[in-house]
Amino acid sequence: MKNTIYVGNTQQFNAFLLFYIVVAAQIGVGIHGFQRVLYEDAKQDAWISLVLSFVFAHIVVTVMMKTLDMFESNDLYGIHLDIFGKYFGTTLNCIYCLYPLFAFIAIVINYIEVINTWVFPYLSPNFLCLTILIITIYAFTGGLRIIVGLCFFSFFFILWIPPILIIPLKYSDWNFLLPILDNELKDIAKGVLSMTFTIIGFEIINVIYPFVKEKDKYKRYVHLGLLFTFLLYLAILLISLTFFSGGQLSKTIWATLTLFSIIRLPFIERVEIITICVWLIIILPNLCLFMWSAYRGIIRMKVISPVKFSVFFAIIIFIANILFYKRSTINIYDKYYGRVAFFIVFIYPFILFLLAWIKKKFRKIKTAGEHNNEN
């Protein structure tokens, strides 16, 4: 098909690495405090909303992969050009490039707020933003293989979370989960919607697909990545729901960090501070993937070096960080970004698949007609 990307062997990576990419893309700043937002909607049935959100994510990612399989080695930006034509497709690509930009902003402003609240209250947010951007640019300009390596490396900084959460279990009361299904279905559905900000990231496969070597194996690793993330979020949520009372959880902004704060180890007094500092390694591949996703869309329209693009991208992020520095403005941004992300990640793939399927059918009919005319 048209607009197909031809990727050399030196740029490709093995399919099993998609597991680490999906996990790295999904686990970011949302894990620090998703429990409060989810509890406000679904109360003690919040875990049901979490389960449903990941079931929906598996369905959506299946639709995404079916769409990608129709277009050989093409990414989402190429699919837009193929289905909608040069002009409207380019317009859609421009709009879609804004999505990773907004995602990047959300991660940065939320992480900086956590640092200013828990670790360095008097450190300038602008200095923190500049530091994060310099580190991200350095990693991003190394290329996709470096970013994939970061995803693999950061995975091992996540593995210590489940074992250490066993400590709060002895203070948990499992009666807080009762009664089950006591809330209305619309409240549980609202909980599914509120999980959008936390679990998005897997849509990176729309852009990274052409760079995967074994395209006959990649699907299993994407689903396994989603499964791992689901189990981690479920474990954290269940411990939070049983450790905090309803009133406490609704007032706790960063429930995960609060859980860490009660842990005392012989060699570490403040586990949550170590967690926040180490979390930069966990969100770094997250940031790089979103920057890279935006870059892949831009070079479809204009040839630009990664360094120039990353500097321009960083300037926009830095300006946005100056605007969003209060808790109230960050909450508003997260709320509206979550709604836009829900449409882009969970609704649009179905529309795109339907349009791709229709166009594929028309092409078959047209090809068959031309073949008959020749005969």
Looking at residue 28, the DSSP 8-state letter turns out to be: S
Q: Does the pLDDT value for residue 83 go beyond 80?
A: yes
For the ranges 59-63, 250-254, 265-269, 344-348, which has the lowest average pLDDT?
265-269
In a domain, 6, yes or no: no
Amino acid at 94: C
In a domain, 12, yes or no: no
Query: What are residue 212's DSSP bridge partners?
Result: 13
Query: Residue 262: its pLDDT value, please?
Result: 84
At 42-53, the pLDDT tens digits run: 999 999 999 999
Amino acid at 332: I
Higher-pLDDT residue of 267 and 260 is: 260
**CB count, 10 Å around CB of 80?**
24
Query: Residue 313: its pLDDT value, please?
Result: 96
Query: pLDDT above 70 covers what percent of the chain?
Result: 95
- The pLDDT-based confidence of 10 (bands split at 50, 70, 90) is confident
What average pLDDT does this structure show over 183-188? 92
Minimal CA–CA distance to 264: which of 164, 158, 169? 164
What average pLDDT does this structure show over 238-249? 91
At 323-341, the pLDDT tens digits run: 887 778 888 899 899 999 9
Looking at residue 360, the DSSP 8-state letter turns out to be: H
Inter-residue contact 274 to 261 (CB < 8 Å): no
Task: Give pTM, 2 decimals.
Answer: 0.93
Overall number of domains in the chain = 1
Higher-pLDDT residue of 273 and 46 is: 46
In a domain, 2, yes or no: no
In a domain, 31, yes or no: yes
Query: pLDDT above 90 covers what percent of the chain?
Result: 66
What average pLDDT does this structure show over 163-170? 85
End-to-end CA separation in angstroms for the chain: 24
For residue 263, count CB atoms less than 10 angstroms from its CB and return exposed for 0-12, middle for 13-18, buried for 19 or more: middle
In a domain, 233, yes or no: yes
Angle (CA) 240 177 50, round 5°: 65
In a domain, 241, yes or no: yes
Q: Does the pLDDT value for residue 264 go beyond 90?
A: no
Which residue segment(s) compose the domain that 351 sits in? 17-368
Higher-pLDDT residue of 153 and 326 is: 153
Query: Residue 118: its pLDDT value, please?
Result: 92
Q: Does the pLDDT value for residue 97 go beyond 70?
A: yes
- The pLDDT-based confidence of 316 (bands split at 50, 70, 90) is very high
Query: Residue 368: its pLDDT value, please?
Result: 62
- The pLDDT-based confidence of 311 (bands split at 50, 70, 90) is very high
Query: Residue 171: its pLDDT value, please?
Result: 87
Looking at residue 283, the DSSP 8-state letter turns out to be: H
At 98-137, the pLDDT tens digits run: 999 999 999 999 999 999 999 889 999 999 999 999 999 9
Amino acid at 214: E
Looking at residue 265, the DSSP 8-state letter turns out to be: B
In a domain, 260, yes or no: yes
CATH number, residue 149: 1.20.1740.10
Query: Residue 246: its pLDDT value, please?
Result: 86
| CA-based torsion, 350, 356, 362, 364: positive or negative | negative
Minimal CA–CA distance to 115: which of 105, 103, 125? 125
Q: Does the pLDDT value for residue 373 go beyond 90?
A: no
Query: Residue 309: its pLDDT value, please?
Result: 96
Supply 205's token pair.
Answer: 């496969």
Task: Name the average pLDDT for the chain.
Answer: 90
In a domain, 373, yes or no: no
Amino acid at 78: G
